[in-house]
Amino acid sequence: MSRTAKEIETTGLPCEAQNGETIQVVPKIDVTMFGKFTLKQEGMEVPHAVSLTGRSRRLWTLTAYLILNRNRGVSAQELIDLLWPEAENDNPLSTLQNNVSRARAALAELGFTHAKVIIHNEKGYYRWAPDRETQLDVEQFETLAKAALAEEDMEKSVALAQKAVALYTGDFLTESAAEFWCINLNTYYRSLYTRLCRAAVDRLLKLGRITDAEKLCTGVIRLDPAAEEFSVFLMQALIKNKNPKKALEHYDYIASLYREVYGVSPSAELEAQKALAVQEIYGSETSEDDIQTFLLEKEQETGAFCCDNNVFREIVNLHVREMRRNDTPAALMIVRLANRSIDPEKRAVYMKQMEVTLLNELRAGDPFTKVGANQFWVLLPGATGENGGLVSRRVFNRFQKEYPKSGATYTFKSLDLRHIHMRAEEKATEKTERRKA
């Protein structure tokens, strides 16, 4: 709808009207809601960041909500329910009007022109700046992201995705992420961001733009270290970019983070990328320094040796052969998680807690392995079934000290490896005799 010069509010920014008369135009407002909540009027040098916590929480929450819903009028009751969802107030409308006045005053203090009408009230409905253009980063992001996902041309799709990703500097209104009116929006934008980045990385790798894929993955991981699939993508990109050592460095970083913060181990996909990186480094021609690093890098480390089932079996067989020659004792300690009816995630956490305990409490080099979903088998060279019980108590005490609030329950059993070996040989002999008979 066209407007005359007199209908346009004065702001100090001149513009030439059709009839030659100089009029003043309303400057647009730029708002960000990813990460920090900021507002910037055209002509300002820097945006103003405002907090959605503290004493001014309600007036800025009111402002943010009106900006998000600026295409419609918001009733007074809707705002009252938003700002005071549980409180009983004798005069809620008066309290709301007071907060609206405070919000207008705060905007004026920040330098916004005509702040008294920037929050507009008409017949009991409030609207944000109906006579001004407001650009909102979350809306720009959504438009670009959807366009990128719909675009079939990979180069154009990636270009749109990169513009969208640049806008996503953090989750939606981080300070209010737990508020009921923010939860769904927070989840929606995070989901869209993840879906967009997943598609963009896939296309970048197909286009051979490996460095761009690395940058995109690094940005996602910086915002959300728990987004493990992007650690997998990053390692893939680094390996393709002839940088397997950096891929291993990232694996070490993320594996340590998962262990210390989340209490879980890396996924099979990450382990597979680690194996590929190792193969790239040591599977081709290597320098003498690489060989020395591979052989000696663990020399200064203390703690037990966690290995897979196949390696553990080979180590046990070596000790069995040693027993045959020198009658050297060894014990096998079985650690079993006894908790029943627990979900897989909790079981994984409990098993990771015990794994860390074994690594720290057992002697340097004592091998152990995870068997199934709820057991660890530990080889104790030089121990017998009897004194293996001392090790069990030591491990149990260390676990209680390290994880006093853990809900895990474990059982320990120590077996003399010589007895196990003798019994295995007896069974093998019996089987052979039955076949002969």
d(CA 63, CA 39): 10
Average pLDDT of the residues in 267-287 = 73
**Sorting pLDDT into bands at 50, 70 and 90, what band is 25?**
low
Q: Which of 7-16, 55-64, 316-325 is the least confident region?
A: 7-16
Average pLDDT over residues 57-78: 94
Q: How confident is the model at residue 429 (pLDDT cuts 50, 70, 90)?
A: confident
Is the domain of 282 the same as that of 150?
yes
Q: Sorting pLDDT into bands at 50, 70 and 90, what band is 104?
A: very high
Do 210 and 119 lie in one domain? The reply is: no
Q: Are 9 and 25 in contact (CB under 8 A)?
A: no
Residue ranges of alpha helices (H) inside 30-91 are 57-68, 76-83
Q: Rounded distance, CA 119 to CA 171, Å?
A: 26
* CA 142 vs CA 149, 203, 269: distances in Å: 11, 19, 30
Q: Does any domain span residue 201?
A: yes
Query: Would you state the pLDDT for residue 433?
Result: 76
Examine the domain organization and report whether 159 and 128 are in the same domain.
no
Cα Rg, the chain, nearest whole Å: 32
- Residue 418's pLDDT is 80
Pairing of the two strands 367-371 and 305-306: parallel
Task: Give a yes or no: residue 300 inside a domain.
Answer: no
262 found inside a domain: yes
DSSP 26: P
Q: Give 437's pLDDT tier (boundaries 50, 70, 90).
A: low
Higher pLDDT, 420 or 289: 420
- Sort 415 into a burial class: Cβ within 10 Å, 0-12 / 13-18 / 19+: middle
Using the 8-state DSSP alphabet, how is residue 258 labeled?
A: I
Question: Residue 306: which H helix or E strand, with range?
Answer: strand 305-306
Taking the C-alpha atoms of residue 132 and residue 25, their distance in angstroms, rounded to an integer, is 9
> Is 361 in the same domain as 234?
no
Among 98-107, 233-242, 281-290, 401-410, the minimum mean pLDDT is found in 281-290
Q: What is the CATH number of the domain that holds 393?
A: 3.30.70.270
d(CA 133, CA 28): 5
My answer on whether 144 and 53 are in the same domain is: no
Q: How far apart are CA 18 and CA 119, in angstroms?
A: 29
Which of 24-38, 65-79, 176-190, 362-376 is predicted with the least confidence, judged by mean pLDDT?
362-376
- Average pLDDT score, the chain: 84
Structure-token match 């008066």, residue found: 94
| Res. 13 pLDDT band, cuts 50 70 90 | very low
Single residue among 99, 132, 165 that ends a domain in this structure: 132
pLDDT, greater one: 231 or 418: 231
The reply to whether 402 falls in a domain is: yes
The residue among 294, 320, 335 that closes a domain is 294
- Name the pLDDT band for 290 (thresholds 50, 70, 90): low
Whether residue 173 is predicted with pLDDT greater than 50 in this model: the reply is yes
Question: 393: exposed, middle or buried (C-beta count within 10 Å: 0-12, 13-18, 19+)?
Answer: exposed
Residue whose token pair is 């008369």 = 21
- For 179-238, write each residue's pLDDT tens digit: 889 988 999 999 999 999 999 999 999 999 999 999 999 999 999 888 899 999 999 999
Whether 12 has a pLDDT exceeding 80, the answer reads no
The average pLDDT across 92-105 equals 92
Indicate the pLDDT class of residue 158, thresholds 50, 70 and 90: very high
pLDDT given at position 177? 83
Q: What is the CATH number of the domain that holds 23?
A: 1.10.10.10
pLDDT digits (tens, 9 = 90+) for 106-131: 999 999 998 888 999 988 899 999 98
The answer to whether residues 202 and 104 belong to one domain is: no
Tell me which long-range contacts 117-126 makes (C-beta under 8 A, separation of at least 24). Answer: 117/9, 119/63, 119/66, 122/73, 124/75, 124/76, 125/73, 125/74, 125/75, 125/76, 126/66, 126/73, 126/74, 126/75, 126/76, 126/79, 126/100
Does 29 lie in the same domain as 107? Answer: yes
Rounded Cα–Cα distance for residues 52 and 38 (Å):
11
| Length reported for the chain | 437
CA gap 172, 139 in Å, rounded: 11
Instruction: Indicate whether 24 belongs to any domain.
Output: yes
Share of the chain above pLDDT 90, in %: 46
Burial annotation 268-293 (CB, 10 A radius, 16+ → b, else e): eebeebbebbeebbeeeeeeeeeeee
Domain's final residue, options 273, 294, 315:
294
Whether 344 is in a domain gets the answer: yes
Q: What count of other Cβ atoms lies within 10 Å of the Cβ of residue 201?
A: 25
Question: How confident is the model at residue 9, as a pLDDT?
Answer: 39
Please state the pTM of the whole predicted model.
Answer: 0.62
Domain co-membership, 125 together with 141:
no
In a domain, 299, yes or no: no
Q: Tell me, what's the pLDDT at 39?
A: 96
Angle of CA points 317, 323, 326, to nearest 5°? 140
Query: Residue 204 falls within a domain, yes or no?
Result: yes
The CA distance from 170 to 222, in Å, is 10
One domain, residues 159 and 290:
yes
The answer to whether residues 249 and 394 belong to one domain is: no
Region 240-257 average pLDDT: 91
Q: Transcribe 325-347 into DSSP letters.
A: HH---EEEEEEEE---S--HHHH
> In this predicted model, which residue has the larger pLDDT, 12 or 223?
223
User: Which CATH number fits the domain that encloses residue 162?
Assistant: 1.25.40.10
Q: Are residues 284 and 160 in the same domain?
A: yes
Residue with tokens 């040591």: 282
Same domain, 161 and 127: no
Which ranges constitute the DSSP H helices of 283-372? Answer: 288-296, 309-326, 344-361
- 5 pLDDT tier (thresholds 50, 70, 90): very low
Domain interval for residue 67: 5-132
pLDDT of 1 over the 70 cut: no
- If you average pLDDT over residues 293-321, what whole number do you get? 68
Q: Is pLDDT at 6 greater than 80 in this prediction?
A: no
Tell me the pLDDT tens digit for each residue of 312-343. Answer: 887 888 778 777 777 778 888 999 999 877 87
**Tally of domains in the chain:** 3
Q: Which of 126-140, 145-159, 344-358 is least confident?
A: 344-358
